[in-house]
Amino acid sequence: MEFNLNKFKERILTIDSLGLLYILVVGGLCHILPILEIVKGFLALPGFLIVPYLVGNVFVPKKTRENEKGLYEKISGFVITWMLGLIVLTIGAMILEVLNLFNLFYYIVSIFIIIWIKILSQTCSGKRPVINGSIKILIISHYKEFIIIAIMLLLPIILLMGLSPFPTKNAGDSFRFCLGIYQIINQSLIPQLGVYFPFLEIIIASLTIIFNIHSFTIFWTGTFFSYFVYGFGIYLLGYRLSNNKALSLLMVLFAIFPFWSKTMNLYRFIPQTWIYFIFPYVLFVIHGILHQNLPKIKTKNLIKLGFVSLIISWLAYEFSTILLPTSNYSPNIRVLYFMLFWIFNIILLRLIFNTKDSIIIGTIFAFLVMIHHPMSFLAIAFLILYISLYFLSKYNVSYYYIVAYTLIFSVSIAIIFHVPAYFYPTGIFNVHYYNLGFSEKVDLLSYVFSYFTLFLFIIGTLYIVLIRFRDISSLSFLVMSLSAMFIYLLNVEILIRMLPFFLVFAVFIVSQGFLFVIHNFNNLSYKGKRFSIVPIILIITLICIFGPILNYLNDITTVGADSGISTISSFDKEEYDAALFIEKNLPNAIIISDPWTQNIISGLSGTQNLGEMNGGGNIKRCIQKIIISWDSVDAYNLSMTILSKNISTDYSIIKKEDIFQQQEIAVIRGNRFELNFTKKDPLIVITPRTIKYGKYSSAWFLAKTKSYIWEDMFPVKGTLDSRSPEIEKFFNSTYFELIYNDENKIYIFKVKNQIEQNESAKY
């Protein structure tokens, strides 16, 4: 039998085999070779796509993949497989931990063995698609556009990362996720805290092991992943909607620069960001399902749709805002709730879709809930509205136009006359967090998008309504964007999180408005002379597009300048080095310091803290007294008072005067920390930030002051004076021991236990 090299390549060179080969070879080299940490960080980024995809592909039926004929279908298939893989990776780890069988190393090894067996079986069957099929078609047909997108995406990244050079970064929640990652790696304990499943901790912990890397390095390079995945998602969505490359590129340009630190933020690599950059792909998949498979809709199907939409919306609200968030500390209950939500969605969707599409859409809804509970409800609600509009267009296009134009007109009038300002809904979403009313939200729109972009949105709206009035996709996206703006403007602070969803819909409208302006001002005439003002329009557009992100950078660096620094990073290299020292030499430590220093050092070193201290509480007052006290005995006694407390997880017996209140205990419990502090090595960390803000209550009680560009989070320029009474007291060798000092920029003191004090007394 003659060996055929081409057939051998067709069987071996698949997406799956090359992905697995990349993980194994590059991961192995990161363990063997002295590769720079930042380089390993970039090498690890493809793992976010490869690992979940390979896991998901194990569970995708062979027939399903073989039936994916067109390019769009293959992209949709990849997206769904990736989502399924991340779900399986997360839920599988949680189930194993409930059964006391979870160990990250063995979990990773087992997964790759299963993946290898699946790839081997597919290779032997010879039925796998070759890599130079759909992927080659996509690259060849769009390679110029991909290069342009990459250049565009690098612009905001360079602006942001240039002001937060590696390894520093403006990070808050990232430190908490680092703690969870360390717990998974070192203790095989999965954190159960927050409004999302621990998917991010599990996937980053896996990549940390595979690529031999510090977990925070991935949070730094993750910004590049966020921007590139989001940018390409916007392009694919735009091209599927319009089949117009220029329009799709414009959508990317208008989508990547809007910026606000709390929601419109691809810089922070956290679950909120994930649901932001995943949403374009979700729309891409659902748009494909609707436009390929739906026949003419009958009245009974429309009635079924109304019933299913109401039930799924109610389920999404109940599960994402009530059931799942309240089951933080019961992973078995969380998994049960999640599986019920997933199954109920598929069963309900089967009433209006075929089995395959019901599973796909149900999986999308479940995936969104897993990523971020509150934002998932908003995302699912908009997806249901989009599906409903398309169903209506297939039922009776005249009815669709009536409903669409009625919504466009009524919502526009309501926004113009400030109707959303008079709505005061109560319930789970009426959370006072951002301190923004209606007028502040209106101002924020111009801050985030610029007046020029909003002007183009109005032009695009008029263009669609008056000229492209029969384009169902454009009308639907216009309805969605106006609805998102209306909901955003409601007098409910938490609905500020509508901005990312509004942007995805709005850039399609803005880009059409821009092309309309260019087309009409490209060939003007005056007194028989023809001229064009397009170059002027392009210059104005570029200036205005850069505006939002430059506004943010100006605001935050101005605040940072008060501390003597010109950076957007929330910690400096000295704090990073100190954290690495603690990680290597005192991994059993518990950190005592001001709120931000405690979070930073604890997160970077993977050591325990005293509940993150994000809210108010007596524990903060005790630590503040330790810092500002001039007496070493008082500082020691206060430290021992904290460390000797018996922490109870029974909230019913917590008294108002107790040092640890419910919020601190919730964080300690959710992070799976050791509750007996006497087993830990207490470290007091002093930085210039600690001394400067030690006397200011705003640095200790952020929830009370509502300081959301927290000036006290920045590192403070300068050195520490060891003779100052705040530091000198810790040089009392009876109670404390200096174990680290980096050129008087950071001090770390170990609190001695009784045995160590007795040993010191002998000398």
Confidence of residue 259 (pLDDT cuts 50, 70, 90): confident
DSSP-derived 3-state class of residue 625:
helix
What is the spatial distance between Cα 377 and Cα 386, in angstroms, rounded to a whole number?
A: 14
Which ranges of 490-612 would DSSP assign to H, the alpha helix? 499-520, 534-561, 573-585, 595-605
| Cα dihedral 652, 653, 658, 660 sign | negative
User: Which of 500, 518, 535 lies closest to 234, judged by CA?
Assistant: 500
Phi, psi of 529 (to 5 degrees): -105, 135
| CA nearest neighbour of 456 among 283, 240, 253 | 253
pTM of the predicted structure, to 2 decimals:
0.91
Instruction: Record the tokens describing residue 328, joined without a space.
Output: 């933080």
For residue 590, the model assigns a pLDDT of 92
Ramachandran angles phi, psi of 712, nearest 5°: -80, 0
Single-letter amino acid code for the residue at 507? V
pLDDT for the residue numbered 565? 56
* Nearest CA-CA partner of 632 in 750, 739, 734: 734
Contacts of 327 by beta carbon, 8 Å cutoff, 6+ apart? 333, 334, 337
Rounded to whole angstroms, how far apart are CA atoms 596 and 364?
A: 36
Which ranges in 257-372 belong to alpha helices (H)?
271-293, 299-318, 331-349, 355-371
Rounded to the nearest integer, the mean pLDDT of the chain is 84
Burial of 146 (0-12, 13-18, 19+ CB in 10 A): middle
CA-nearest of 37, 48, 30 to 207 is 48
pLDDT band at 87 (very low <50, low <70, confident <90, very high): very high
For the chain, the C-alpha Rg in angstroms (whole number) is 28
The mean pLDDT of 190-204, rounded to a whole number, is 86
248: which 2 tokens? 């799709």
In what side-by-side order are the strands of the sheet with 747-751?
A: 589-592, 681-686, 747-751, 736-741
Mean pLDDT is lowest, of 1-5, 26-30, 56-60, 101-105, for 1-5
Q: How far apart are CA 710 and CA 613, in angstroms?
A: 14
pLDDT range class, residue 572, cuts 50, 70, 90: confident
Domain ranges of the chain: 294-395, 419-516, 573-761
Preceding omega of 46 cis (within 30 degrees of 0): no
pLDDT of 337 above 80: yes
* pLDDT band, residue 703 (cuts 50/70/90): very low
- How would you class 246 by CB atoms within 10 Å of its CB: exposed for 0-12, middle for 13-18, buried for 19 or more? middle
Helix (H) or strand (E) holding 750: strand 747-751
Residue 739, classed as helix, strand or coil, is strand
Tell me if 224 sits within 8 A of 41, measured CB to CB: no
pLDDT for 284-311, tens place per residue?
999 999 887 666 778 888 888 899 999 9
486 and 414 in contact (C-beta within 8 Å)? Answer: yes
Mean pLDDT of 523-537: 64
- What's the rounded Cα separation, in Å, for the pair 176 and 596? 12
User: To which H or E segment does residue 20 belong?
Assistant: helix 15-32
Closest CA to 202 of 55, 90, 88, 47: 90
- Predicted confidence (pLDDT) per residue in 206-244, tens digit: 999 999 999 999 999 999 999 999 999 999 999 999 989
- Are 302 and 392 within 8 A, CB to CB? yes
* 3-state SS assignment for residue 526: strand
Tokens of 216: 């925070």
Distance between CA atoms of residues 640 and 27, nearest Å: 44
Q: How far apart are CA 615 and CA 335, in angstroms?
A: 28
**Residue 112: pLDDT above 60?**
yes
Q: What is the pLDDT of residues 135-178, one digit of tens each?
A: 667 777 777 888 888 998 888 888 888 888 888 887 778 888 99
Instruction: Report the C-alpha gap between 483 and 407 in whole angstroms.
Output: 8
For residue 736, which phi and psi values (nearest 5 degrees)?
-130, 160
What 3-state DSSP class applies to 591?
Answer: strand
Calpha distance 56→79 (Å, rounded): 10
- 249-257: average pLDDT: 91
* pLDDT, mean of residues 65-84: 82
747 beta partners: 686, 741
% of the chain beyond a pLDDT of 70: 85
Pairing of strands 736-741, 747-751: antiparallel
Stretch 596-620: mean pLDDT, rounded?
Answer: 81
Q: CA–CA distance from 437 to each of 3, 412, 484, 691 (Å)? A: 72, 19, 17, 35
Q: What is the mean pLDDT of residues 448-477?
A: 90
- Mean pLDDT, rounded, for 8-34: 84
Distance between CA atoms of 662 and 652, rounded to whole angstroms?
Answer: 9
**CA 415, CA 433: separation in Å to the nearest integer?**
23
pLDDT tens per residue, range 718-745: 788 888 888 999 998 889 999 999 888 8
Q: Which residues of 130-144 are buried (b: 16+ CB within 10 A; e: fewer)?
A: bbeebbeebeeebee
> Nearest to residue 449, comparing CAs of 378, 409, 500?
500
Query: What is the DSSP track for 116-184?
Result: HHHHHHHHHHT-SPPTTTHHHHHHHHHHHHHHHHHHHHHHHHHHHHHTS-TT----SHHHHHHHHHHII
Reported as type and span, the H/E element at residue 589 is strand 589-592
**What's the average model confidence in pLDDT over 520-525?**
68
